[in-house]
Amino acid sequence: MGFRNIIGRRLGLGLVRRRKPFSTATCDGDGNGNAKSINLYSAINQALHIALETDNRAFVFGEDVSFGGVFRCTTGLADRFGKARVFNTPLCEQGIVGFGIGLAAMGNRAIAEIQFADYIYPAFDQIVNEAAKFRYRSGNQFNCGGLTIRAPYGAVGHGGHYHSQSPEAFFCHVPGIKVVIPRSPQQAKGLLLSCIRDPNPVVFFEPKWLYRLAVEEVPEHDYMLPLSEAEVIRQGSDITLVGWGAQLSVMEQACNEAEKDGISCELIDLKTLLPWDKETVEASVRKTGRVLISHEAPVTGGFGAEISASIVERCFLRLEAPVARVCGLDTPFPLVFEPFYMPTKNKILDAIKATVNY
């Protein structure tokens, strides 16, 4: 909490299908052909501008968001849309999410920011016992589907154990919410707009390591990317690699190194972890016969374990080797020893070779 103060104060009744989209635009094209090279935090900022501009029921709130937030993702929003729609909250994550649930239940688009994903735990009860069950317990008479919770997650090189955690697996155990993690600026903008407009509450984790590091061409127009659809971002024939968020760039580096040794890797970005796209992963594993999953969160109980179990159930007779997992260690996230904790390119490359040569 000290670091947070220093840097600025820090179709059942569970999930439903979208009835009517707010936008039919996709990322495949811009009517004007306009795209701009921007980083990930700027893409998030664009998405929030569009969400507020296209829906006067949308509100952005959280700690320090009115002046731009710690990572500047909300810069300019209060000036443009006013402090009645973009406003600061007290330092109380439980209150932030609880307020968001009530706001969404009244038919609004509540976009709540948790300053660091590490501090989402005080809001766990509100997310798990209230937001996720709101529709179900009312027999679909009421819902808080307009709620989106943004939170920067993951390693940043110097965050230590209170500003580096990856808590996605905790929420993947909860029917009634969606969990989404983008890998790049273009993905972040399109997925965030989809989350905001989705008729279900969503937890949207943003890889803070990539806020300024990841830069690519992003269409300036309003577009959405589909949720619960994984993407094969690299074709291969020898082994399937599955990941999400910032870990994708590390895995891609390992794929490039493996290619030098004649190993063809297929790389899949899951994008939505709950509910996740089992069919795309299964089709890839049936082709390659091998699979490796990698994430920053500790290996025990990480979401990679769920993927592993599902693949064994669905593809057991097609597997040529045990499912490999290259993840964070089962320790609190360290400060000085972060390089040893992280699932690095070399760890992944070693696991690729061991799996292919099994």
Cα 83 to Cα 65: distance, rounded to the nearest angstrom: 10
Over range 234-238, report the average pLDDT.
98
In percent, the amount of the chain with pLDDT more than 70 equals 91
HSE value, Cβ hemisphere, 13 Å, CA-based, for 358: 17
Give, for 80, the enclosing helix (H) or strand (E): helix 77-81
How much is the mean pLDDT over the chain? 92
pLDDT one-digit tens code per residue, 183-220: 999 999 999 999 999 999 999 999 999 999 999 999 99
Q: What pLDDT, in 10s, does the model give residues 128-143?
A: 999 999 999 999 999 9
**CATH-assigned architecture of domain 231-357:** 3-Layer(aba) Sandwich (3.40)
Q: What is the pLDDT of residue 1?
A: 39
Confidence of residue 16 (pLDDT cuts 50, 70, 90): low
Nearest to 167 by CA among 95, 252, 267, 274: 274
Burial classification of residue 151, based on how many CB atoms lie within 10 Å of its CB (0-12 exposed, 13-18 middle, 19 or more buried): buried
Query: What does the radius of gyration of the chain's CA atoms come to, in whole angstroms?
Result: 20
Hey, what CATH topology would domain 35-219 get? Rossmann fold (3.40.50)
Percent of the chain with pLDDT over 90: 91
User: To which residue do tokens 């999400």 refer?
Assistant: 244
Q: Which residue in 218, 209, 258 sits closest to 238, CA to CA?
A: 258
Domain boundaries, the chain: 35-219, 231-357
Residue labelled with tokens 């766990």: 124
So which residues are the catalytic ones? 93, 163
* Mean pLDDT value across residues 155-172: 95
pLDDT, tens digit (0-9, with 9 covering 90-100), for 31-53? 456 999 999 999 999 999 999 99
Judged by average pLDDT, the poorest of 11-25, 52-66, 94-108 is 11-25
- Give the pLDDT confidence score for residue 33 in this predicted structure: 62
Degrees to nearest 5, angle at CA 114 with 109 and 120: 115
Q: How confident is the model at residue 164 (pLDDT cuts 50, 70, 90)?
A: very high
Task: Assess whether pLDDT exceeds 50 at residue 167.
Answer: yes
- Give the bridge partners for 291, in sequence order: 240
Q: Is the pLDDT of residue 315 over 60?
A: yes
| pLDDT higher than 70, residue 27 | no
| Fold agreement between 35-219 and 231-357 | yes
Which band of pLDDT confidence, cut at 50, 70 and 90, is reported for residue 9?
Answer: very low
Pairing of strands 178-180, 272-274: antiparallel
